[in-house]
């Protein structure tokens, strides 16, 4: 291992291991966007190796996002989100085979929208958590008089 990458890898490992499930999903969205953009740059430069690598990594992350959707809280919403990720997955496959920058740009646009939506949801949940009093006995201090 390169001595310069060791601290970066340790930082990333620590960041992932200490992240909440919401933060992990945001990291996956960021990664999918990063790789989709790399794939698009490779496609525009006619560097098909870079295109394939970027799109493949993006597709793998989208698959991870797709397969980790939980039905238990809201099955109807989960099915709709699963449909979006299925569409994104299909578009990445088609963009790669057809070398279609338009389809890949559509994936990027939708991932950016998904990321923005996820950040707003994270902010809303954080605000709700901060205004909800902690239950007695869940780390809170109670005074007895």
3-state secondary structure 66-100: HHCCCCCCCHHHHHHHHHHHHHHHHHHHHHHHHCC
* Dist. CA 51–CA 58, nearest whole Å: 11
If DSSP codes are grouped into helix, strand and coil, which group holds residue 56?
Answer: helix
Give the contacts of 67 (CB within 8 A, at least 6 positions apart): none
pLDDT > 70 in the chain, percent:
79
Indicate the pTM of the whole model.
Answer: 0.79
Q: Map out the domains of the chain as residue ranges.
A: 18-131
Dist. CA 31–CA 142, nearest whole Å: 43
Encode pLDDT of 14-71 as tens digits: 666 667 888 999 999 999 999 999 999 999 999 999 999 999 999 999 999 999 999 9
Give the tens place of pLDDT for each residue, 90-135: 999 999 999 999 999 999 999 999 999 999 999 998 898 888 665 5
The domain 18-131: what is its CATH number? 1.20.120.340
């Amino acid at each position: 291992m390169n001595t310069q990458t060791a601290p970066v890898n340790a930082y990333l490992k620590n960041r992932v291991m200490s992240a909440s499930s919401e933060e992990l999903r945001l990291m996956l969205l960021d990664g999918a966007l990063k790789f989709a953009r790399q794939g698009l740059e490779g496609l525009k430069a006619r560097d098909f190796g870079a295109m394939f690598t970027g799109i493949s990594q993006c597709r793998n992350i989208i698959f991870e996002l797709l397969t980790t959707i939980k039905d238990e809280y809201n099955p109807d919403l989960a099915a709709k989100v699963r449909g979006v990720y299925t569409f994104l997955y299909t578009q990445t496959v088609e963009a790669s085979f057809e070398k279609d920058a338009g389809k890949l740009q559509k994936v990027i646009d939708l991932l950016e929208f998904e990321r923005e939506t996820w950040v707003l949801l994270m902010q809303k949940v954080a605000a709700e958590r901060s205004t909800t009093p902690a239950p007695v006995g869940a780390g809170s201090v109670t005074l007895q008089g």
